[in-house]
Amino acid sequence: MSRWHILGAGAIGSLIACRMEQSRCAYTLLHHHHGSSSRLVIDGQSSRQLCVQPLVDLPLASIDRLLLTTKAGQMAGALSLALPYLSDDAVIACTANGLGFENALGELLAGRRLHRAVSTAAAFKDSDAAVH
């Protein structure tokens, strides 16, 4: 099974990673900062601690499936950081809480196809940065 790399360890990215883990899908949750961290996801009555890895620790051209889950205004910056890590035939998908980022991403992708999604899942981070 192919691994998904989820760039954006906020509420939605962490929720998607949690759901992938529950479904036994291979994933890596990434952030663009240096240093590893973790994210607590509270899903109903259960909770999980997810490992969040820095994008810069990956080998170049190693991402075959990328899911961007940042805020709309951060999409282009996140994709710019991820470009060197994408394989030539990488699948690129995004879900964001806003509009207007498609043109900027299209320019960065230079002819690559972008799959866009709208999330109907609700998630939020509390004051302790736990995702609910």
Alpha-carbon span 93 to 113, nearest angstrom: 9
Ordered per-residue pLDDT tens for the chain, 132 residues: 589 999 998 888 988 998 898 899 999 999 987 776 777 777 667 777 888 999 999 999 999 999 999 888 889 999 999 999 999 999 999 987 667 788 888 889 888 888 887 766 666 667 777 777
